[in-house]
Amino acid sequence: MKLNHLIILLLSVFLVGCTDVEDASIADVEAQEVTTDETSESSEAEETVPPVVDEPAVEETPTEPSNDLFAGYELIEVDGGDLSGYRESNVAVNIGFGDRDYWAFTNEYGQLERVVADEIILQDDNNEPVLSSGRYYSDEAKVSGVESDMLDEGHVLADSLGGVSNAYNITPQESTLNRHGDQAYMEDAIRDAGGATDFEAIITYIDTETQIPSSYQYTYTLMGNEIVDTFDNMNPDEINASLGLTDSEPTDSASSSSSSTNEDVSSVDTNGNGQVTIKEAKAAGFSMPIMSDHWLYPHMRDNDNDGMVGE
């Protein structure tokens, strides 16, 4: 009997011990599963965080100007009809009428030294406010020197080429040169070609005090051909005579006197601007039309190029 009780007691102890071991094992397994789940979630969280990459510092560089045409010059605006003869130093002024871009530059002494234009656009009589004289303005700037009887208020770019009349487009120019010499030739050539491109005028002076140029150089392109014309600010007839290029044969004095009287354009060109208007021609006693073979024709504007003026 005692033996049975002892066996039962031992079995009870054994069963209780097994139960504790199983519970402990289950707890360990559950703990491992929880730890594994947390580790897995932590790993997934770490995988979803993007790596931080140090970007190299970008050094800002200043923007280079697209056009250095105006480097060293102050851009100012001057009315196209401003009659003041004063020019500011080291400035750039647009001397193109309307939407044209013709740029004039002065040096440190206020002398007009350069004029440039990508394209010369001719005056449009039908769509622009052009006076009966063929000009945009009734007068030109009074640059120092133009008060001389021998010098005109000479446009670098004439009204017919779309230029204005302020001091940044006017230089005191020898009258014959302006009206019948290289200056007039350049203007006629550009008009006949319907315009020009790549225009540049370089103007030089004998010293830094005067506003009267000593010489001009014009470079421009006509129908694909580059033209370079350099000339002094002098009477071309006198230059030709000094070079022996004029006709030295004696002429009949009476005939010469009659010719000079009949073909003296200054007696017709009352305002002395080098262009004879229909009104001026009629006032001088000429009947219209003036045909292309008439001596007065080269001094007038044949707007439709039909060989007659005032028809």
Question: What digits encode the pLDDT tens for the residues 187-208?
Answer: 999 999 999 999 999 999 999 9
Cα separation values, 14 from 5, 17, 142, 146, Å: 14, 5, 131, 135
| CATH for 74-240 (3.40.570.10, 1.10.10.10, 3.40.50.300, 1.20.1440.60) | 3.40.570.10
Q: What is the pLDDT of residues 150-170, one digit of tens each?
A: 999 999 999 999 999 999 999
Q: Give the DSSP H/E element, type plus range, for residue 117.
A: strand 112-120
d(CA 276, CA 103): 29
Cα maximum dimension of the chain = 183
Q: Are 93 and 84 in contact (CB under 8 A)?
A: no
Share of the chain above pLDDT 70, in %: 69
Residue 260 one-letter amino acid: S
Per-residue pLDDT for 23 more than 80? no
Residue 250: DSSP 8-state: -
pTM of the model: 0.61
Domain boundaries, the chain: 74-240, 249-309
The mean of the pLDDT values for the chain is 80
Q: Identify which of 306, 192, 304, 278 has the alpha carbon closest to the alpha carbon of residue 296.
A: 278
What sign for the dihedral angle of Cα 173, 106, 167, 116? positive
- 215 close to 233: Cβ distance less than 8 angstroms: yes
Pairing of strands 74-75, 91-94: parallel
Name the residue with higher pLDDT: 34 or 279.
279
- Residue 247, both tokens: 């006709």
